[in-house]
Amino acid sequence: MLRLGLGLFLAIATWIGLRRMVSAGRAPSIGVLLLDICPIATGFGLFLFGTGRPILAGIGIAALGFGLGLADTMKRLILREPVVFADRSELFEVIRHPRFYLAFIGTGFMVVGAGLIVALVLALAWAEPPLWAVTTWGTLIRIILAAILGRLAFVLPSRPPLLQPLRRRYESWAPSRDPEVDIGRFGLLATVIMHATIARAERPARRAAVIARGLPSLRAGQGPIILWQAESFVDVRRLSPDLSDRLPNIARLSAEARQRGLLEVPAYGANTIRTELAALAGIGPEDLGLDRFNPYDAFARAPLPSIAAQARAAGYHTVCVHPYDLNFYARDKVMPGLGFDRFIGLEAFRDAETDGGYVTDMTLARFVADLVAKDGPDLFVFVISIENHGPWDAMHDGRPPALLPAAWGDLPDAVQIGRWLRHVEAADGAMAVLRAGLEQAGQGWLGFYGDHHPSLSGPFLAPGAADGRTDYWLWQLAGAPGESIDIAADELPERWLSLMR
Output the pLDDT for position 498: 96
pLDDT string in tens for the chain (501-residue length) = 788 888 899 999 999 999 998 888 788 889 999 999 988 998 898 888 888 888 888 988 998 898 899 889 988 988 889 999 888 877 777 777 676 666 555 555 555 556 666 666 666 666 677 777 666 666 677 667 767 766 666 655 667 777 888 899 999 999 999 999 999 999 999 999 999 999 999 999 999 999 999 999 999 999 999 999 999 999 999 999 899 999 999 999 999 999 999 999 999 988 999 999 999 999 999 999 999 999 999 999 999 999 999 999 999 999 999 999 999 999 999 999 999 999 999 999 999 999 988 999 999 999 999 999 998 899 999 999 999 998 898 887 778 889 999 888 888 889 999 999 999 999 999 999 999 999 999 999 999 999 999 988 878 876 667 789 999 999 999 999 999 999 999 999 999 999 998
Sign of the dihedral defined by the CA atoms of residues 249, 251, 253, 256, in that order? negative
Q: In whole angstroms, what is the distance from residue 319 CA to residue 147 CA? A: 40
For the chain, state the CA radius of gyration.
Answer: 25
Angular region, 223: left φ>0, alpha ψ -120 to 50, beta rest: left
**Which of 206-222 are b and which e, b meaning 16 or more Cβ less than 10 Å from the residue's Cβ?**
bbeebeeeebbebeeeb
Confidence at residue 394, expressed as pLDDT on a 0 to 100 scale:
83
Domain 218-499: assigned CATH number: 3.40.720.10
Angle subtended by helix axes 30-51 and 188-213, to nearest 10 = 110
β-strand partners of 260: 473, 484
Predicted local confidence at residue 352, as pLDDT:
94
- Per the CB < 8 A criterion, the answer to whether 449 and 472 are in contact is yes
Task: Return all residues near 468 (Cβ < 8 A) that are at least 6 apart.
Answer: 264, 265, 268, 452, 453
207: helix, strand or coil: helix
* Predicted pLDDT of residue 115: 67
CA distance 236 to 471: 10
Q: What is the pLDDT of residue 156?
A: 58
CA distance to 12, 25, 435, per residue, from 18 (Å): 10, 12, 53
Q: What is the pTM of this model?
A: 0.90
Q: What is the pLDDT of residue 135?
A: 66
Residue from 153, 141, 157 nearest 195 by CA? 157
Burial status of residue 161 (CB atoms within 10 A of its CB: 0-12, 13-18, 19 or more): exposed
Beta strands in 332-469, from DSSP E residues, in sequence order: 342-344, 354-355, 358-359, 379-384, 445-450
What lies within 8 Å, CB to CB, of 469 at 6+ separation is: 262, 263, 264, 265, 486
Q: Are 355 and 399 in contact (CB under 8 A)?
A: yes
Is 387 within 8 Å of 358 (Cβ atoms)? yes
The three-class DSSP label of residue 468 is coil
| Comma-separated ranges of CATH 3.40.720.10 domains in the chain | 218-499
Helices (H), 239-384: 248-256, 272-281, 285-288, 307-313, 331-334, 361-375
String of DSSP letters for 10-39? HHHHHHHHHHHHTT----SSHHHHHHHHHH
Q: Using alpha carbons, select from 102, 100, 91, 97 the residue that is nearest to residue 390.
A: 100
Q: Please list, in sequence order, all residues whose beta carbon lies within 8 angstroms of the beta carbon of residue 330, skipping any fewer than 6 positions away.
A: 89, 296, 297, 301
Identity of the residue numbered 18: L
Residues 6+ apart with CB under 8 A from 161: none
Report the Cα 186 to chain-centroid distance in Å: 25
Cα separation, 89 vs 350, whole angstroms: 27
Contacts of 74 (CB under 8 A, 6+ apart): 104, 105
Over residues 457-482, the pLDDT tens digits come to 878 876 667 789 999 999 999 999 99
Nearest to 449 by CA among 252, 232, 215: 232
Instruction: Provide the β-strand partners of residue 398.
Output: none
For residues 355, 361, 362, 363, the Cα torsion angle rounded to the nearest 10 degrees is 80
Tell me the per-residue pLDDT of 22-76, one tens digit each, with 9 for 90 and over: 888 788 889 999 999 988 998 898 888 888 888 888 988 998 898 899 889 988 9
Identity of residue 200: R
**Cα–Cα distance between 364 and 347 in angstroms, integer?**
13
